[in-house]
Amino acid sequence: MRLFGNPGGGNSSQQVQKMIQEGAAIIDVRTPAEFAGGHVAGSKNIPLNLISNHVDEIQEMDKPVVLCCASGGRSGQATAYLRQHGIECENGGGWTAVNALVKP
């Protein structure tokens, strides 16, 4: 079920990696149970169905955002929604792909 329309554009792992290196926030839009099963270190869990309640909080981060989930579908929906609210963000895809881009 798509809550926010079509996923927001494609992503480039190079662009996502650059954003992460420059200090982007990482938001995981999976459920809390999925997040508890493994996630990118330092990422914030805001489930997709709650993302609209956190727009102000995300804007106040005052930095670009990389979104991730299990496969990239939900994070694509969140990316499209946040872009409509003027937030600079990219769909990082699955959390394991984003995790591989994060340097320990």
In a domain, 88, yes or no: yes
Q: What is the pLDDT of residue 13?
A: 83
Indicate the number of domains in the chain.
Answer: 1
Q: Is 72 helix (H, G, I), strand (E, B) or coil?
A: coil
- Decide if 69 is catalytic: yes
Q: What is the pLDDT of residue 11?
A: 52
Residue 52 CA from chain centroid, whole number? 13
Q: What is the pLDDT of residue 12?
A: 72
Q: Residue 94 is part of a domain; what is its CATH number?
A: 3.40.250.10
In a domain, 5, yes or no: no
Domain extent for 42:
13-101
In a domain, 4, yes or no: no
Per-residue pLDDT of the chain (104 residues; tens, 9 = 90+): 333 333 444 457 889 999 999 999 999 999 999 999 999 999 999 999 999 999 999 999 999 999 999 999 999 999 999 999 999 999 999 999 999 999 77
Q: Is the pTM of this model over 0.95?
A: no
Q: DSSP label at 67? A: E
Phi, psi of 57 (to 5 degrees): -60, -40
In a domain, 27, yes or no: yes
Residue pair 70/96 in contact by the 8 Å Cβ criterion? no
Catalytic hit among 26, 29, 69, 82: 69
Tokens 């099963």 -> residue: 37
